[in-house]
Amino acid sequence: MAAVMLLFRSFGKQAVHHGKVSGATLRRRGMASAASFRFKDLEIELTKNPQQKPEPSELVFGKNFTDHMLTVEWTSEGGWKHPKITPLQPLQLHPGAKALHYSVELFEGMKAYRGVDDKLRLFRPEANMERMNSTAARAALPNFEGEELIQCISKLVEVDKDWVPAAKDCSLYIRPTMIGTEPTLGVSQTEEAMLFVLFVRRNRNVNLGCHKNIILPYFVAYYHPQPTLGVSQTEEAMLFVLFVRRNRNVNLGCHKNIILPYFVAYYHPQPTLGVSQTEEAMLFVSFVRSYRNVNLGCHKNIILPYFVAYYHPQPTLGVSQTEEAMLFVLLGPVGSYFKTGAFNPVSLMADPQYIRAFKGGVGNYKLGSNYGPTIRIQKEAERRGCHQVLWLYGDDHQLTEVGTMNIFMYWENESGEPELVTPPLEGIILPGVTRRSLMDLARGWNECKVTERTFTMQDLIKGLEENRVKELFGAGTACVVCPIDRILYGEKDLHIPTMDTGAVVCRRLYQELTDIQFGRVSHEWVRRIES
């Protein structure tokens, strides 16, 4: 039987609908047909051991997690189970879970804000639900009703309301995640899944559970003792090998200073959200017949592209649709995304040999597999003295995204008109909620053209030479708005005059958006959380 769990980190109270939909029906009609879980069914268990909350000045993005989480499980045979808010705890991960081998997982990023009136608010959560369901369909994971999840998340935030910082530039980061939990090896649609939400923090161990009848082509189980949210190199990792029928070693020994291409069956005892390099790793081997685990010791300095929280109760080998899944949500208080602080300019490395996404692929979906492979390139950018990577595409070197952000340029176009331009959504750009919001705000000014169109490095260079480029900036949930002042492009070191001109447009957008998010201005985009 397949199963899905939705896991939230924070509060809880009602939740999942147990739909009676057969696996065969789901395969015929698609995962989107599965009945949704319901907020009215939400079950809540509060922690008996609340953690000490960090001071706002001590917050590092993705390092701290709240006391509770939300989870919802799903199976192809039974549909969604009841949603649950529970104390933050490790997921039971089978090493054969599809999420660990084939990246059958997805995530979202959103925030809760403590307003100037001390009320809690979510910003455009409907847009996140729309994107999450779109990504789930692309990943052959089950869909759900967005409003039901929003209500569950709102309750989770209410439960952990004391974790929402009241300091400037601080908020509560919300990480809804869905993973294929069916333990099968083979590229196929999952029969089980888990949806979970995290709010961020704590150092606990994860029980990897029983390892039965699983064939792994190479090691993939990775464990992050220090869990973090964010695109960065992992600090810890676990390497393991499984055997089938014969207790023959596939690939043992010590693995140091290795870059892992995509596997993610690794657990961070100190969870962190963020794409970063791991500092520790564990290698182990499981045997099918004896169900014995062998701990081969600790391995440090291994780079993992990303990690995922997915558990397959019935592991199988092969690329196929999962029969089980889990949805979960984590919460965590966060400060500024960059160490330089909010609204400080960043420099970019633009190297056309590195490509983030391609047309016909999945670059426009929020899949973890889009982020892990960027870590090594981010390290290369840092080595060259830059903060982030400017992702280019095509022979004409089109500007696409900045790190994990959408990109905007404010300039005087070839016709002499003031224009705010951002790349179009043509399959390689993530449809960011902040991106959409900034365009809506700028269009409301009626002061400049707001255009979605392709622009290249040559367009940018020509505009700089003719003094037509005024500002360049990134935008996203984590950083909000981030000005850009320099691009390293081949032999060219381009100065971007964003801050020279006072970053008027960039700063205005930042101010108007945060005024809405923190309740300084009333707006239909925010949803108050009543407690």
Domain boundary, last residue among 282, 307, 334 = 334
Residue with tokens 């391609």: 358
| pLDDT, position 245 | 35
Q: d(Cα 463, Cα 164) in Å, to the nearest integer? A: 43
Backbone angles phi, psi at 507, to 5 degrees: -70, -40
Q: d(Cα 106, Cα 115) in Å, to the nearest integer? A: 29
Average pLDDT of the residues of the chain: 78
Q: Do 240 and 286 meet the contact criterion of CB atoms below 8 Å apart?
A: yes
From the list 219, 216, 195, the residue with the least C-alpha distance to 315 is: 216
Where is average pLDDT lowest: 4-13, 218-227, 470-479, 482-491?
4-13
How confident is the model over 200-204, as a mean pLDDT? 32
Same domain (yes/no): 312, 388: no
| pLDDT, position 186 | 66
Same domain (yes/no): 424, 451: yes
How confident is the model over 432-456, as a mean pLDDT? 98
Domain membership flag for residue 417 = yes
Q: Do 368 and 343 meet the contact criterion of CB atoms below 8 Å apart?
A: no
Where is average pLDDT lowest: 123-137, 160-174, 333-347?
333-347
pLDDT-based confidence at 187, cuts 50/70/90? Answer: low
pLDDT-based confidence at 83, cuts 50/70/90? Answer: very high
How confident is the model over 155-165, as a mean pLDDT? 96
| pLDDT, position 391 | 98
Q: Are strands 68-75 and 84-87 parallel, antiparallel or unpaired?
A: antiparallel
Same domain (yes/no): 183, 238: yes
| pLDDT, position 62 | 86
Same domain (yes/no): 26, 166: yes
| pLDDT, position 220 | 34
3-class SS at 130? helix
Q: Phi-psi bin for 203: left (phi > 0), alpha (psi -120 to 50), beta? A: beta
pLDDT higher than threshold 70 for residue 108: yes
Same domain (yes/no): 289, 222: yes
Same domain (yes/no): 378, 429: yes
Residues 473-506 pLDDT 10s = 999 999 999 999 999 999 999 999 999 989 999 9
Domain membership flag for residue 304 = yes
| pLDDT, position 336 | 85
Q: d(Cα 265, Cα 259) in Å, to the nearest integer? A: 14
Return the DSSP state at 140.
T
Domain membership flag for residue 341 = no
| pLDDT, position 69 | 97
| pLDDT, position 405 | 96
pLDDT-based confidence at 414, cuts 50/70/90? Answer: very high
pLDDT higher than threshold 80 for residue 300: no
pTM: 0.76
pLDDT higher than threshold 90 for residue 230: no
Same domain (yes/no): 405, 509: yes
Provide the H-helix boundaries in 446-527: 457-465, 504-517
Q: What percent of the chain has pLDDT over 90?
A: 58
How confident is the model over 455-463, as a mean pLDDT? 98
Residues 40-65 pLDDT 10s = 999 999 999 999 999 988 888 888 99
Domain membership flag for residue 410 = yes
CATH number, domain of 369, equals 3.20.10.10
| pLDDT, position 271 | 58
Tally of structural domains, the chain: 2
| pLDDT, position 318 | 64
pLDDT higher than threshold 80 for residue 529: yes
CATH number, domain of 175, equals 3.30.470.10
Q: Comparing 148 with 270, which gets the higher pLDDT?
A: 148
Most confident of 2-6, 222-226, 493-497: 493-497
pLDDT-based confidence at 339, cuts 50/70/90? Answer: confident
Same domain (yes/no): 350, 327: no
From the list 160, 153, 203, 194, the residue with the least C-alpha distance to 175 is: 153
Residue with tokens 């998340």: 153
Domain boundary, last residue among 306, 334, 362 = 334
Return the DSSP state at 51.
P
Residue 420 belongs to domain spanning: 346-526
| pLDDT, position 250 | 32
Same domain (yes/no): 414, 522: yes
Domain boundary, last residue among 314, 334, 354 = 334
| pLDDT, position 365 | 95
Structure tokens at 356: 């983030």
| pLDDT, position 188 | 67
How confident is the model over 330-344, as a mean pLDDT? 85
- Rg over CA atoms, the chain: 23
pLDDT higher than threshold 70 for residue 254: no
